[in-house]
Amino acid sequence: MNVNRKVLTLDEFTIQQLRDIPNATGELSSLLRDIGLAAKRVNVEVNKAGLVDILGDAGSVNVQGEDVKKLDVFANDQFTGVLKHGISCAGIASEELDDYIAFDDTESKKSKYVCLFDPLDGSGNIDVNVSIGTIFGVYRRVSSRGSIATKDDFLQKGTQQVAAGYIVYGSSTMLVYATRRGVNGFTLDPSIGEFTLSHPGIKCPPKGKIYSVNHGNFFQYGEEVKKYINICQKKNKSDGGPYTQRYIGSMVADVHRNLIKGGIFMYPGTIDKPKGKLRLLYECNPFAFIVEVAGGKATDGKRRILDIQPTELHQRTPLFIGSKDMMEELEKELEG
């Protein structure tokens, strides 16, 4: 008789992790569970997005007489709310907010961590039913516990992350998070309303056959990047190809696919945007942490993403991320 392995919920998994770490306080586990709760609430609204004509577009009042918010504003409020009312987070920074928020209540000021997130990345794809996502990174604060969080807590290198993850609202809703102990994926089971462990111990295949880049910008890329893209196009069976080009235009979906199947995602700098489009703190750092823990690599074309010292909350960086061997082939080209 086939017995399915015990299905672990996110809560059970984080508590089990807690049991394995002798001096853990449970604050990180609690923070991750808070994020899982907000993700479930966002998932409900994302799944209704197609009904906007019925439920009312942002700025309108719905049939219940409630103000309808833009989904990314709604998502921002959900993640900010659970973290503010939890016991683990002293403050947040968000793609949706100009500046960080330091929570000023006593419990929050005693908390160990700060969290940076993009609450709903790719939200422009919502009305055409393309997968979108939430991205987050968690840091131990550098300011003293008991005091209010400071800007330095948020401007830490990506190497300082204690955890990072994302939620992809797609054909199924998955929460993937990494600590230095590993990367694990949880799929939302609507029948019980819980994220359940579906992808334990995710590893990024060292080789892949997928390259992801916006070809519309091709003639704006540097010569070395163009040369590497041409190499991808010329791959054949004898040298690990043929490659296929896959680009959804939603970072969470593109990087998630390449993490699982193997591949490389590129958002290079262009003539118009030399720093690229993607944000270092709450898009590139979390994914760089996750992909490195899974065995892959992430650079800005010159430096390891996680080594970049941030100077501004919303600074952008070019991003090359994915399978180790593919990244090393790219790096040879970028070295010129």
Contact residues: ligand P6P, CB under 6 A: 121-122, 124, 214, 249-251, 254, 277
Chain residue at closest Cβ approach to ligand P6P = 251
Residue closer to ligand P6P, measured from CB, 10 or 253: 253
> Shortest gap between Cβ of 122 and ligand P6P (angstroms)?
4
Work out how close the CB of 277 gets to ligand P6P at its nearest, in angstroms, rounded to a whole number: 5
Considering beta carbons, is residue 159 or 214 the nearer one to ligand P6P?
A: 214
Question: Measured from the CB of residue 130, what is the shortest distance to ligand P6P in angstroms?
Answer: 10
Residue spans of beta strands (DSSP E) within the chain: 89-94, 101-102, 113-121, 132-140, 161-169, 173-179, 182-189, 194-199, 210-212, 244-245, 264-267, 297-299, 319-322
Q: How far is the CB of 135 from ligand P6P (least distance, A)?
A: 9
Pick between residue 45 and residue 121 the one whose CB is nearest to ligand P6P. 121
Nearer to ligand P6P, 222 or 240 (CB): 222
Residues 6+ away with beta carbon under 8 Å from 328: 297
Q: Residue 128 Cβ, how far from ligand P6P at the closest point, in Å?
A: 12
Torsion of CA 271, 155, 293, 247, to 10 degrees: -30
Cα gap 233→143, rounded to integer Å: 49
Chain mean position to CA 259: 12
Alpha-carbon distance of 263 to 323, in angstroms, equals 6
Beta bridge partners of 74: none
Q: Among 138, 181, 143, which Cα is nearest to 160's? A: 138
